[in-house]
Amino acid sequence: MRMSFACVPDAEAEARRWMSGLPYHQFSKMIILEVVERKEHKIGRPRKDEDVNISYVIDAEIEMNANAIEKDRTKLGRFLLATNQLDLEPEQILNYYKGQQNVEPRR
C-alpha cells in the first residue's frame, strides 16, 4: 500500500517513525516524490489552469544496519566454563560440559 501525505515534513516524520521500529535496518536511499492528480480523476495530463491535488509519497530502499547488528551481536552467546585441570584444551572443556546431559538426564 502506498501512503500519501499532505506535505514533505509529514512524509519525512512518518518515514522516521516507521524506521524507529526497525533497529537493524536503515534507509540506503529515501526520496519524497510529489504526486499530482486531477480532481476529476480524468485520464491524461492536467491543463495549466485545472485544479489538481498535490500529495507526497515516500520512495525508499532499505538495507541492513551492520553497525547495529554487530553491536548487539557482541552481547549475545557468551558464557564461562572454568576448571581446575589446567592441561585441558578449550574444545575438550566444552565437550565435557556438553556431555553432562548424558550423565545427568533431566527428570
pLDDT, position 56: 96
pLDDT digits (tens, 9 = 90+) for 7-51: 999 999 999 999 999 999 999 999 999 988 877 777 777 777 778
- Give CA separation, 61 vs 19, 28, 36, 38, 76, in Å: 12, 6, 23, 28, 29
Specify the residue for cell string 565435557: 96
Angstrom distance (rounded) from CA 95 to CA 23: 36
Q: What is the pLDDT at residue 107?
A: 63
